[in-house]
Amino acid sequence: MGAGHDTVAGELARRERAAGHEPHVVDVLRLLPCGLGGGLRHSYRASVRHFPWAYAGLYRAFLRGSGSRRPSGVPLARLAGDRLTELADRLGADVVVSVFHLAAQLTGHLRAGGELRVPSAVFVLDFAVHRQWLHPGNDRYLCLTEQAAAEVRRGVPVPVRTTGPVVAPGFLTEEPGAGPWRELLGRRAPGRPPVLLSAGAWGAAAGAAVTARLLTGAGYLPVVLCGRNERLRDRLSRIPGVLALGWVAGMPGLMGASYALVDNAAGQTAVQALARGLPVVGYRPLPGHGAEGVRRMADLGVSALAADGPGLLTALGRLAAGGPGRAEQTARGRGLFTEDAMACAAELAGSGVPL
């Protein structure tokens, strides 16, 4: 769903390949029969873009933790079981690592039943852990923060480790690509600090035009990341003083040339900003896990949270270059990156974890 899971899977695979191993990346939705996975992806994208209230209801029913009994993702996930076990056997896999909650339900179910004969690790990508990530059949859980790890420990009786997030190396180093971006943005709006507005890979954002106009009026250059939503990009491009971009390949450079990120999902774009040392402000979050993740990031002190337009401008004003607010927030964000998640998962290979 979206590009965040794919981005993390790709980076984990790159690290394993560099270490001399042979990774295989599989989209669990493609393992579902009869085009069911494509239908799920399309429905989720439509609800997030156009009917966020519908996704909020689904989140409350299926994902949010509660002491009461709630529907499980196992019946859906198990439809991909035969294909996953066949693939693991054919490739001679040593460990299966899930980076998507439906995959975690599937591997947990298969391990509990003895059908998946190699260990399974789950890398939880969310700051706020929802219940569909959790299945006691999995062998190990890896989390972004200690707070998330504590939630997992309360939900499943398996080993849990805090590794921090995963990003490509370019986000953790001084990216030379920032120079051309600074030049481009400076020509576009001299003297206006560029503020990124993230709408994710699908270009899902509530009130993006209103937020962009607010920032323009306050003296900023809104740079809206529209992902693959060309309609959103076309609409925002008509607003004077706004730079609307499609899919950006050189994100480390763009982040290095920017003043702050206004985020609505606590997803991979926000994680990349934390790694790059770009301050994050949560604003108008998407419903469900987006809203919970944005609040959790703010609770950790790695981002600010703005309740309204004036609050957004106040939060941005506190992030002046060289100021203590900016330095403290970015230091806390970079402090999350502690271990190599794939190395922790690979420890399970050949470890003799029982079925």
DSSP of 73-101: SHHHHGGGHHHHHHHHHHHT-S-EEE-SH
Burial of 108 (0-12, 13-18, 19+ CB in 10 A): buried
Q: Where are the domains of the chain?
A: 4-164+338-346, 169-334
Residue 323 has pLDDT above 60, yes or no: yes
Query: Please, which pLDDT band fits residue 3 given cuts at 50, 70 and 90?
Result: confident
Q: Give the percent of the chain with pLDDT over 70.
A: 86
Q: Looking at the whole model, is its pTM more than 0.85?
A: yes
**Sequential DSSP letters for 207-267:** THHHHHHHHHHTT-EEEEE-TT-HHHHHHHHTSTT-EEE---S-HHHHHHT-SEEEESS-S
pLDDT tens-digit profile of 136-156? 999 999 999 999 999 999 999
The residues facing 142 across adjacent strands are 123, 161
Residue type present at position 232: L
The span from the CA of 28 to the CA of 103, in Å, is: 6
Most confident of 45-54, 58-67, 269-278: 269-278
Q: Of 51-60, 83-92, 109-118, which gets the smallest average pLDDT?
A: 51-60
The span from the CA of 83 to the CA of 240, in Å, is: 51
pLDDT tens-digit profile of 259-296? 999 999 889 999 999 999 999 999 998 887 788 999 99
Give the largest CA-CA distance in the chain: 62
Q: Alpha helices, DSSP H only, in the chain?
A: 4-18, 28-31, 36-50, 52-58, 74-77, 81-91, 101-112, 146-155, 178-188, 208-217, 230-237, 251-256, 268-276, 289-300, 309-317, 324-334, 341-346
The span from the CA of 203 to the CA of 245, in Å, is: 10
Q: Name the token pair of 333.
A: 């964000």
The span from the CA of 20 to the CA of 291, in Å, is: 39
Q: Of 178-182, 199-203, 350-354, which gets the smallest average pLDDT?
A: 350-354
**Dihedrals φ, ψ of 260, to 5°?**
-165, 165
Round the average pLDDT of the chain to a whole number and report it.
Answer: 87
Comparing CA positions, the residue from 102, 2, 16 lying closest to residue 341 is: 16
- For the domain spanning 169-334, the CATH number is 3.40.50.2000
pLDDT tens-digit profile of 223-254? 999 988 898 999 999 999 999 999 888 899 99
The span from the CA of 264 to the CA of 262, in Å, is: 7
Residue type present at position 292: E
Pairing of strands 304-305, 194-198: unpaired
Place of tokens 């849990």: 160
The span from the CA of 293 to the CA of 195, in Å, is: 21
